[in-house]
Structure 1
Amino acid sequence: MYKAINNALVVCSFIILTHVQAAMPKSQIWLAQEGESGFTVQPLTDKSAYNNQPLITDDGVYYTKEVEVQGQSQTDLFLYRFDDNSHTNLTNTPESEYSPTIFPHKKGISTIVVEKSGEQRLWFYPEDKSQSTSRIFEHIKPVGYHVWGKNEEVILFILGQPHSLQFTNLSGHLPKVVAKDIGRSLAYNSARDIYSFTYMVDGEQWFATYSSQHNSVRKHFRLPSTIRDYTWMNDNVVAYALDNKIYTRDIDTPKSVSLWRNLQDYCDTNITRLSYYEGSLAFVCAR
C-alpha cells in the first residue's frame, strides 16, 4: 500500500511547536492532474482549518490536518485515497504529528511528533494498527523534517540557531552536520542519489544537493529569498512556486527558468507547499 515516490520524498512544512497551539494558520490543499481531458484542478480539503504538508504516492495524498481535541487545536495525519476519494485519520492521537513520510523499512509512515514534554522527535506509525508506534531515534532532537535515502540513510532538519542539515542512518550513529542555515524543504532524488535542500550563503538563498557517496555539497542555482518549498518533477527538473505561479528549472541548465502553470484562478494568495508525482501535483494555498 505504502509505495513511495520514485524521485523524491518531499517533506514540506516547518512549524516549530513546543506546546499545542490554540489557532493555526488556515490553508487549503488542491490537487491538479494532467490527463487525457487536460489539466484539471480540484480542492482536496476545505479551507476552514490548517491543511498542509501534502505528500503524493501511488495510493493517494498524505497530509497534516488541524483537529480539535478538548477545545484545543492539534494536528493529525490523514490520507486521501485515490481509489474511493475517502479521507482517513491515520494517527488520531493526543499528540500533534507533522510531515508524513513513507517509511521505507517497514509498512507505515515516519513522522515528526510533538511529545508531551514539548520535544520534537522522529516516530514510526505502522500500517498495521495492531502494532505499536515507536520512536525511531531517542537521542536525535529537535527534529523539524526528514527524508529517507538509499539503504538506511536519512537526512534531518534539526532545529537550532541556525537550523542545520544532519546526515545519519537508521542506527542514528553520530549524525554528521552537512550544512547550516537551511530551509524547510528536503527531498531525495533516487536516480541521481542526491539529497536536495535550500540554504543561505552570504545572504543569498541557494538550491543545493548533498551526495553521501562523495560527502560533498553542490550549489546549483540561486532562488528568490521568498521561496520556501520545491518539488522534483523528474530526475532533472525542480518546480517551485512564486506567489501563485509555478516555475521549473533543470539542474543541468540552471540559468533557464520556465513558467509551468499559472494557478491564480485557484489560489488568489500564495502557494506555499508542493508535491508532484507522475502527472499529479498537490499544492497548498495559504488563507
Structure 2
Amino acid sequence: MLRFTAMLTVSLLFAGVLVAQPNPSNLYLFDLAKENDQSYALTKPTFLTPVNPGGYNNQPQFASSELLLFSSGAISDSFQTDIYALNLAQNTITKITETAESEYSPTLMPDYFYFSAVRVEADPDQTQRLWQFPLDRLNNGKPVFPNIRNIGYHYWISRYKVLLYIVNSPNLLIIADTRDGSWEKVSSDVGRCFKRLPDGRVAFIQKESEDLWMLCALNTQDFTATGIVPVLAGVEDFVVLNDGSFLMGRGSRMYHFNPKAPEKGWVEIADLRDYGINAITRISTNGNGRLVLVSE
C-alpha cells in the first residue's frame, strides 16, 4: 500500500457559518520533474490537509515558491470558509482570514503585499465580490470593485487589470480596471481556470458547445483568442508548465499536452489511484518543480 507523508504543525481550529455544503476535498503535494519532451514524473506525494481531512480544502494558489494559499472550512450545516497560508518550508499553517463570510480563490496581487479573494458576503443575497486583504493581516480588507457583483473567479493580468468570471446564464468573462472600476466584456461560456503562457497571453477554456471545450490563448490587448487543443471531456482545470506545455487531471489520472507535438494529444503521465486520489480537480504549480492538486 502506497503511503503519503502527512504534513503540518497545527495551531488553529476551523469554524463556520454560511452557504450550501460542498463535497469533501483535500490537497496533495508532489514533486514534478521533466523526464523528456513528452513526459513528466510525479514523485514524493505529501498529504497537505490532515488538519481538516473530511472538510473542504480547495482552490490552492502558490503565492511564492514555498507559500501556498487555499480556502478551507469544516463541512456542516453552517458551512463557511476562510483563507489559510501553508508554508511548505516550515511545515506551518496560518489562518489569514477569520470572518462570518466565506472567502474563496485566494490569489497574490501584483504588488505582492496583498492577496485577493472572492468573498460570499453575509447578506440576504449572498453577494459575491472581489476583495483584497493584506498578507500581514493589519486590516480587514476591502472590496476591489464595490459595484461589480456575481464574481466567481478572477485572474490578475497586470497591476491594475484583472479578468473576472461573472456567474450568469451564460457566464461572462470581463476585464476590469481597478483605477476607475470600468470593465469590458471579453467572452462568454468560458471555464473557471486562467493561466499565463510564456508568451504573455492567458490560457483559458472556451466552451464552444456541450461536447467541445477548447483550450485557447487570449491576447489581453485586443481580446482575440486562438484555439490550442480540445480539452479532456468535462475537465476545466489545468496548469501551464515552464516550457509552455499543459497538465490536466481527470479522475485519478494526470495528462500532459505539448503544443510542439500536437499530434500526440493528451498523454497520460500518471495514475494516482493508489494514493486514494480518484477525482482530481484544481491544480497549481510553483514553477519550481512542485505541484499541488485537489481531489474530491
With structure 2 as the length reference, what TM-score do the two structures score? 0.83
Deviation at 1:251, TM superposition (A): 3.0
* Match for residue 229 of structure 1 among 237, 250, 256: 237
Q: Secondary structure at the match of 1:255?
A: helix
Q: Do 1:147 and 1:188's aligned partners in 2 also have CA atoms closer than 8 Å?
A: no
* Match for residue 282 of structure 1 among 269, 287, 292: 292
Is residue 102 of structure 1 aligned with residue 71 of structure 2? no
User: What is the identity, as a one-letter code, of the residue corresponding to 2:135?
Assistant: E
Q: Do 1:211 and 1:217's aligned partners in 2 also have CA atoms closer than 8 Å?
A: yes
RCO comparison, higher one (Cα < 8 Å, 6+): 1
Q: Deviations over 1:258-280 (max 9, x none)?
A: 22222121134211111112111
Deviation at 1:173, TM superposition (A): 4.1
Structure 2: segments with no counterpart, 5+ residues: 1-16, 34-41
Deviation at 1:153, TM superposition (A): 2.1
C-alpha change, 1:263 and 1:130, in structure 2 (3 Å) is same
Aligned to 1:63: 70
For residues 45 and 74 of structure 2, what CA distance do their matches in structure 1 show?
25
* Match for residue 267 of structure 2 among 228, 234, 258: 258
Q: Secondary structure at the match of 2:263?
A: strand
Q: Equivalent residues in 2 for 1:17-56 (5 A)?
A: 20-21=18-19, 23-34=21-32, 39-46=43-50, 47-56=53-62
Q: Do 2:110 and 2:158's aligned partners in 1 also have CA atoms closer than 8 Å?
A: no
User: What is the identity, as a one-letter code, of the residue corresponding to 2:43?
Assistant: F
In percent, how many aligned pairs have the same letter? 25
Structure 1: segments with no counterpart, 5+ residues: 1-18
Q: Do 1:143 and 1:158's aligned partners in 2 also have CA atoms closer than 8 Å?
A: yes
For residues 280 and 48 of structure 2, what CA distance do their matches in structure 1 show?
14
For residues 246 and 276 of structure 1, what CA distance do their matches in structure 2 show?
14
Aligned to 2:174: 166
For residues 253 and 165 of structure 1, what CA distance do their matches in structure 2 show?
30
Q: Do 1:121 and 1:140's aligned partners in 2 also have CA atoms closer than 8 Å?
A: yes
The number of aligned residues is 264
User: What is the identity, as a one-letter code, of the residue corresponding to 1:115?
Assistant: E
Deviation at 1:33, TM superposition (A): 1.4
For residues 241 and 110 of structure 1, what CA distance do their matches in structure 2 show?
26
* Match for residue 146 of structure 1 among 139, 154, 165: 154
Root-mean-square deviation (CA, aligned residues, Å) is 2.1
Deviation at 1:230, TM superposition (A): 0.5
Deviating runs (4+, > 4 A) in structure 1? none
For residues 22 and 234 of structure 1, what CA distance do their matches in structure 2 show?
37
Deviation at 1:202, TM superposition (A): 3.4
For residues 214 and 180 of structure 2, what CA distance do their matches in structure 1 show?
28
Greater displacement, 55-64 / 80-89: 55-64
Deviation at 1:106, TM superposition (A): 5.0
Q: Deviations over 1:22-60 (max 9, x none)?
A: 53310111111147xx82001000331011111123232
With structure 1 as the length reference, what TM-score do the two structures score? 0.85
Q: Secondary structure at the match of 1:265?
A: helix
C-alpha change, 1:178 and 1:254, in structure 2 (3 Å) is farther
Q: Secondary structure at the match of 2:131?
A: strand
Q: Equivalent residues in 2 for 1:83-94 (5 A)?
A: 83-94=89-100
Q: Deviations over 1:85-106 (max 9, x none)?
A: 0111110111100001001125
Q: Secondary structure at the match of 1:62?
A: strand
Greater displacement, 253-262 / 113-122: 253-262
For residues 140 and 172 of structure 1, what CA distance do their matches in structure 2 show?
12
